[in-house]
Amino acid sequence: MIEYLYLVIGLVLLVAGANYLIKGSTNLAKRFGVSELIVGLIVLAFGTSLPELMVSVLSALGGNTDIALGNVIGSNISNTLLILGLCAVIFPLVVKKSIAWKEIPLGILAVSSLVILSGEIVFGFTPVFGRFDGIIFLSLFLVFLYYSYKSLKVHKVVTVDIKKNKDFLTALMILGGLAAVLFGGHLIVDNAVLIANKVGISQFLVSATIIAIGSSLPELVVSLVAIFKKKANLAIGNIVGSNIFNIFYILGITALIKPITIPLFAFFDITFLLITSLLLFASIFIGRKYAIGKSSGIIFLILYLIYLMIIIARG
């Protein structure tokens, strides 16, 4: 029963931590006159992607690169279909033009490179995401960071007077909230794996489902809290930024530690991720332009359930 208790404690930490993380990030945006979109793309995206980074790096160090790959692919699919789907069902998401034409296409480019790499299976080769590929991904990640930095000058908002004596409180909210989110996610992932092992679930299935969903819980909670606080820019920036972080940064770091051999069956998951990314881009222009509506959110959730059923049946 102790594993189930830790799961509950982890969930409580996630909810509480996400609430303070949103408050602190919003204060940070107001304090420096930076848009919430940029805060979501950089601060929240990096922070909520740390669970995926931890799982992937530890998996690579242990020689289990299939877990690292399944974690990133599964997390990105759940980020888009599950999290954005839930958010869109609750409240239609208005998408900034910069996200529609820059960040989302950059995410599609990242996934496309994985599809091309795994496509070597068709020609009878064993595709390997090696250290050189990792360097390329990390270089593209630096380009993304540079673009985000340059965007600070474009996405300025009216500065709100925040007393300097509240700077410490803002920092405490961000750091404390982030620590609670990460520790809560860590508790959930670890104990979900223990429970899964007891019932005999395969490691790859665990990485693509339980670990992927578990490590995506910070994104889920942060995005849902942002939606309820009517901070849609934080929610969208968090998800899009996290997906880019997961592929360019996390897979890049993982490949530098140990080259990743892509198994045959993973070609389906990577292709499905590309379809998911393209669907996200298309949904922005269906119905209300530059918005993800409730109907799109429902479709996202249905597709996610179909994906889960397929990989569970695959074993």
| Residue 254 contacts residue 116 (beta carbons within 8 Å) | no
261 forms beta bridges with 128
Pairing of strands 291-292, 260-261: unpaired
| Contact of 177 with 15, CB cutoff 8 Å | no
Give the gyration radius of the chain's Cα atoms. 19
Output the pTM of the full model. Answer: 0.81
- Residue 292 pairs in a beta bridge with 93
Residues of the chain with pLDDT under 70: 29-30, 33-45, 48, 119-126, 149, 151-165, 203, 315
pLDDT of residue 53: 79
Return the H-helix or E-strand segment holding 93. Answer: strand 93-94
CA distance 207 to 203: 6
Domains of the chain, with CATH numbers?
36-153+200-314 (1.20.1420.30)
User: DSSP letter at 155?
Assistant: S
Residue 244 in contact with residue 144, Cβ under 8 Å?
A: yes
User: CA-to-CA distance for 84 and 237, rounded, in angstroms?
Assistant: 11
Tokens found for residue 268: 């389906």
- Residue 34 pLDDT: 65
76, amino acid identity: N
CB-based contacts of 116, cutoff 8 Å, min separation 6: none
Question: Residue 173 has what pLDDT?
Answer: 86
pLDDT of residue 107: 86
